[in-house]
Amino acid sequence: MAASFSSGPKTGVATITHVPPDRYTDAQLVRDVAAGNGAALGVIWDRYARLVRSVLFGAIGPDSAVEDLLQDVFLAFQRGAANVVDGGALRGYLVSVAVRLAALELRRRKVRRWVGLSATGELPELPTQPEDAEARESLRALYRVLDQLSPRRRLTFVLRHVQGLEMLEVAAALQISESTTRRELSRANEQIAALAQREPSLTRYLALRNSRGGAP
Amino acid sequence: MSQPDQNESIAASLAALARTAHERQIVDDAGGRARLLLHARPARPGLRSRPVRWLAPAAFAAACALAVWGLSPGKLRYQVTGASQAGSYVSAPAEHPVVVEFTDHTQVVLAQSSQLRVEETSPRGARVLLERGAANVHVVHREHADWTFAAGPFDVHVTGTRFDLSWDPAPQVFELTLREGSVEIQSPLSPAPVALRAGQTFHGDLALHTLTTAEVSAPAGSAPPPAPAPPSPATSARANEMADALPSSSAASAAAAPSVLAPVAGRAWPKLIAAGEFKALLEQANERGVPSCLRACSAADLSALADAARYTGQAELAEQSLQALRARFAREPAGRSAAFLLGRLREGQGAASDANAWYGRYLNETPDGAYAAEALAGRMRSVQKISGPTSARPIAEEYLERYPNGVHAGTARSILGLH
């Protein structure tokens, strides 16, 4: 565990101030994880699981694979923590790992569709808060639309619009240039807008949202 | 509005749909965290995986500074697996037990939500204070070994033995069930130390000023002693199973025959969960017989069975396991957590009233438990579904007050119309 050491001004005896783990910097936590500290990994989970889950959920939708991938992201980080040079960039690192795993999952789904294991390539849905059938259908339709995008384009849309990441962060997570990111996003917007017109539930959702001034 | 702007607006609106769906998704954050830490555990540097090398003094000094090990050469050292450690203080989380292993192979398995303090170590043993909760102890017998386990005003002196210890400071109740060897217990309840032999239980109640010793199994002479192998995580898990399978050591139950679990082939179930081998665990459960497991398995095994069932989507088996935990271990941490998990299960099945009841039960029993935030959020969602958002407002307010940055703060604000 990290602790800060300082010399007492009069006695010269070292005093130790323990900092609660949840107040450690990311860099301290990364060092602790690399040293085998499970508690530090728990703090990182508390800090970033929501973000990473959100990236995964946005990328692949309400799917039972989300929780497994979430575990994979953190376990991958734990295994590679010793190689993380800039611990302060932990957020971006975790997002980029999540993006890579999500992209792999999207490719696996395509394979599942191709080989006929599943009509949609999707795994069983995760439990969600019961909501009206229309909302469920809209969500399904949205992911049908996203399924028609390339993984990179889809992830660009998710990171920028669903997660609200800055362009530079999106570019870093996808390991592409900022200009490529902008092009991908523009094409994603265009493709999604066109495909959404073919989904009745999405056109109803968009009309309803417009009539409410943007509220869902 | 230009076409690119229109496209962007549509994309942003659809992104909001995905965000809303994600906020409404039922997540098990605490369970996910526990699962991660269990999976991550094998990768941690451990007592056996970090052999002492010739340049170890510097590393050893650093380790001493961090209080991972004991304090000076010659004294026993110890390592904690499964929890963070602050000096000599060890606190087990609500999700899983913690193992404290000494360099003489003495092992203390600290039950969920229990705390202990290693007060001092010596070359011959240590003094361990159980501050609250329960522990399963195996002191390896050595000549001149000197161990003391304290809990409240009770001191247990041992040289080599296996026993289960529990101390609840609120009602001031102390219990010890001795499985092997002999111990002496000093307490203000008797003028002289009470000697206990294998198969006996000691129950001390300071508030009632009563002390009871009773037999819980066959006398020591006829009881086949367990194999004297050095303890390992697997054997400690087995010891836990044995401990959990015994009835409570009150005077009334002391006379009853213990329902000792049949030996289990293969690896301990919590270990299988940690390794992600859910299917292997379920296969073992089927071999053992699920109904008999529900009746006789330990709390740790039932929790593992419920986890494996949940992770593999077997809702019925998950519910049976959780109900068994509630029925048999309602006052233990695993039994209390089962109330939350049953709420989660019911909510996933669309049974909002049941879910609300289970969440409420969990919050009543464990208001500050590991799942308290999730249980409160579950109640908020369930009440909203049953009676509408107006009825859910007080719960949303409570949630925001307690967890202003919580995962479900967005949902709570939405119920309150804050955005």
At residue A124, the pLDDT reads 40
Q: Which of residues 122-141 of A touch B (CB under 8 A)?
A: 124, 126-131, 135, 138-139
Of all residues in chain A, the one with the smallest CA distance to B36 is A71
- Is A82 touching B (CB cutoff 8 A)? no
Of all residues in chain A, the one with the smallest CA distance to B408 is A50
pLDDT of residue A113: 56
Interface contacts (A, B; CB < 8 Å): 144
Q: What's the pLDDT at B243?
A: 34
A158 vs B400: CA distance, rounded Å: 28
Chain A residues within 8 A of B385 when measuring between CB atoms: 129-130
B190 conformational bin, left if phi > 0, alpha if psi -120 to 50, beta if neither: beta
Q: How many CB atoms lie within 10 A of CB B350?
A: 12
**pLDDT score, position B250:** 30
The CA distance from B397 to B205, in Å, is: 41
Decide if B45 and A162 are in contact by the 8 Å CB cutoff.
no
Distance CA B100, CA B107 (A): 6
Contact A128 B25 (CB under 8 A): yes
Q: pLDDT at residue A85 above 80?
A: no
Chain B residues touching A45 at Cβ < 8 A: 32-33, 36-37
Per cent of chain A over pLDDT 90 is 12
Q: Provide the token pair at B197.
A: 């032999």
User: Quick one: tokens of B301?
Assistant: 């095994």
pLDDT at A187: 93
Token digits of residue A40: 């530090």
**pLDDT reading at A24 higher than 80:** no
* DSSP string covering chain A: --EEEEE-TTT--EEEEEPPGGGS-HHHHHHHHHTT-HHHHHHHHHHHHHHHHHHHHHHH-S-THHHHHHHHHHHHHHHHGGG-S-GGGHHHHHHHHHHHHHHHHHHHHHHHHHHTS-SSSPPPPPPB----HHHHHHHHHHHHHHHTS-HHHHHHHIIIIIS---HHHHHHHHTS-HHHHHHHHHHHHHHHHHHHTT-HHHHHHHHHHHHTTT--
pTM of the model: 0.40
Q: In this predicted structure, what is the pLDDT of residue B360?
A: 92
CA distances B171 to B26, B166, B208, B209, B395, Å, are 37, 12, 9, 11, 32
Q: What is the pLDDT of residues B8-67, one digit of tens each?
A: 888 888 888 887 776 666 566 666 777 777 666 544 333 333 333 333 343 333 333 333
Q: Which residue has the higher pLDDT, A60 or B40?
A: A60
What does the block give as tokens for A201?
């539930």
pLDDT at B235: 31
Residue A27 corresponds to which tokens in the numbers above? 């860099």
Q: What is the pLDDT of residue A162?
A: 84
Taking the alpha carbons of A3, A5, A9, A13 in that order, is the dihedral positive or negative?
Answer: positive
Our CA angle for B99, B89, B82, nearest 5°, is 30
Q: Tokens representing A68?
A: 């497994």
Reported as type and span, the H/E element at residue B178 is: strand B173-186
Residues B11 and A197: beta-carbon distance below 8 Å: no
Q: How far is Cα B68 from Cα B174, in angstroms, rounded to an integer?
A: 29
Kindly report the three-state secondary structure assignment for every residue of A31-49.
HHHHCCCHHHHHHHHHHHH
Q: Please report which helix (H) or strand (E) contains residue B175, including its range.
A: strand B173-186
Helix axes A167-174, A178-196, angle to 10 degrees: 100
Instruction: List phi, psi (to 5°) of B40.
Output: -75, -20
Which residues of chain B have a pLDDT value below 50?
42-73, 217-265
A residues 85-114 closer than 8 Å to B (CB): none
What are the φ/ψ torsions at residue B260 (nearest 5 degrees)?
Answer: -75, 135
Whether residue B78 contacts residue B92, with contact meaning beta carbons closer than 8 Å, is answered with no
B31 vs A89: CA distance, rounded Å:
26
